[in-house]
Structure 1
């Protein structure tokens, strides 16, 4: 790991402050590293993948001795030195030809890695498809625009490896999140290309299905009798077919630490049992316990005592005033004394 040093000037201090943790993190940068034994074809693939990631990308020209699955220390060193959370290592060998290793880091430590081998026979680069797109009048997408993702296949939701691949590619080509707030789906100019990932058919039952990577350019046409335009997809490349190789899954403790969110980004806490209707009026819900009305404390007066309760039936005689006893008096029998006069001061 790189040792921490005290900044000697204001420029170095500003550079270190940019790397400090923030409430809203910066856009993840991608670093393309050619391995100890690479090929020209992998170099062209990395160039075209880097064009989709621009301007948050950096590419090495010289080869580096990096063995991701054997020793990840060199990978972590390059990620920390170049301030890159995403690293792609290109290697070529007889056992694993034309292989790209996609790695993600958290706190400059390897989070997860996936090894994908490019099937050269069925893959085509952007330069090979340029003639078809140029004939159709399609230009490349503008730099910095975020793509739309399309995942086709049930394995992206059920299989753990393909769920990891889905998260990896979305994290790799996501771009600036602040740009998503400015350009939504209602802005046609803000959406120019689509990245499609499809799970192919496996060769045998024992092998994993290949991963088909496609990039399309959106083109709109005027539709007769409708306000919305007609949208068509034109493939611009690169067209890559990947074979899934070795996979390194993150540890549970690291996953728990990486998914922690600051309280400031969670917004206002949700108040329980309070709702708002479509008009904006607030409604509250109050939960009470069981109410025992028989034990309810009432005014202590003679007429409310239980022994004076009368529940006559249909065959019972009518109740007269004499049935209450001698103590019962009507309102006319009560003598009310006049109020006493106040003494006037002399």
Structure 2
């Protein structure tokens, strides 16, 4: 006998809104992140999670209590927690003698683990260790990636995509220069990732373009790759698939030259200008009458000449 799946039906307006929020949409909500402390943690791992949580505090959940979770050994509990809190991103910190200062970053697709990367944290300097003014909570950062590793090594390429998901912030169409004040830099060098945080200062330059200065505000740390569980190409393609309604349809017979000028080509049947209806104005009508009278006079004159010639 087959198992009949239960369909959740809301009984209250609050439950109805909750189900509508979780339902599929053409334009999905901003990704929610889940930050979890493992059974055994270290100060560096906890501070790293708190730092990421501070950048993504507007749309994330932090579980400070200890949780016996090992993502690479058993991910079912993590998947249940992700479904419970409706979170598609997760970060788990653990600590052991074999893997000290351990942090696992990952993401979900359809409430199952898509991919995750295990990182080791070293050379840790928190936000509080930099005696500078900080940026406001929820500021959308400018992400900078340097190094050939982000284009050559598959693990670094996937880590770049994962970091963009964590730090990109809400989707916007316009950016104000006054709110453009946070820069996060990731540098790939000798199989390690160096992360730095800067505050962007726009100062007067005497021209319309301001002078840009960077002040380091933290965090400052070094990340080393340990274990990875990357999604297959088919799963990644399914997770990145866009609905047909959002795909831009190509318009035929429209070309754009290198200067950006748009040209359109129109296909029409050959016109018969003899059947073209024109407006009969008084001037055209009078001219036509004069032309008819002139032709009659010419024909009468020709008949008279022919009659004289025949009489002779």
TM range (shorter): 0.7 to 0.9
Change in Cα spacing, 1:279 to 1:97, as seen in structure 2 (3 Å) is closer
TM-score, structure 1 as length reference: 0.72
- Aligned to 2:255, which of 275, 282, 286? 275
Computing the radius of gyration from Cα coordinates, the structure with the larger value is 1
C-alpha distance in 2, partners of 1:25/1:13?
18
Q: Equivalences for 1:217-256 in 2 at 5 Å?
A: 217-224=199-206, 226-256=207-237
Aligned 8 A contact 1:30 1:57 in 2: yes
Aligned to 1:153: 147
Indicate which of 219, 241, 255 corresponds to 1:260. Answer: 241
Q: List per-residue Cα deviations over 1:215-265 (Å, max 9, x = no partner).
A: 1100122124x3311101111111111111000010233112112111111
Question: Which residue of structure 1 aligns with residue 91 of structure 2?
Answer: 88
Provide runs of 4+ in structure 1 moved above 4 Å.
Answer: 276-281
1:58 has 2:40 as partner: no
What root-mean-square deviation, in Å, do the aligned CA atoms of Structure 1 and Structure 2 show?
Answer: 2.0
Cα offset, 1:44, TM superposition: 2.0
The unaligned stretches of length 5 or more in structure 2 are 269-312
Query: In the alignment, what sits opposite 1:162?
Result: 156
Measured after TM superposition, the shift of residue 144 of structure 1 is 2.4
The SS at the match of 1:61 is: strand
Residue of 134, 137, 157 corresponding to 1:143: 137
How many angstroms apart in 2 are the aligned matches of 1:285 and 1:198? 54
Alpha carbons of structure 1 residues 3 and 44: separation in structure 2 relative to 1, 3 Å = farther
Task: Answer yes or no: is the 8 Å Cα contact 1:199–1:210 preserved in 2.
Answer: yes
- In terms of fraction of residues, the more helix-rich structure is 2
Tell me how many residue pairs correspond in the alignment: 262
Q: Give me the TM-score of the superposition, normalised by structure 2.
A: 0.79
Q: Distance in 1 between matches of 2:261 and 2:236?
A: 42
Does structure 1 conserve the Cα–Cα contact (< 8 Å) formed by 2:55 and 2:139? no
Q: 1:152 to 1:242 in 2, by over 3 A?
A: same
2:128 corresponds to: 127
Is 1:41 the counterpart of 2:41? The answer is no
Higher strand share: 2
User: CA 1:32–1:4 in structure 2 vs 1: closer, same or farther (change >3 Å)?
Assistant: farther
Q: Structure 1 unaligned runs (5+)?
A: 134-138, 202-208, 287-346
Counterparts of 1:279 and 1:86, CA distance in 2: 43
CA contact (8 A) 1:274 1:285 kept: no
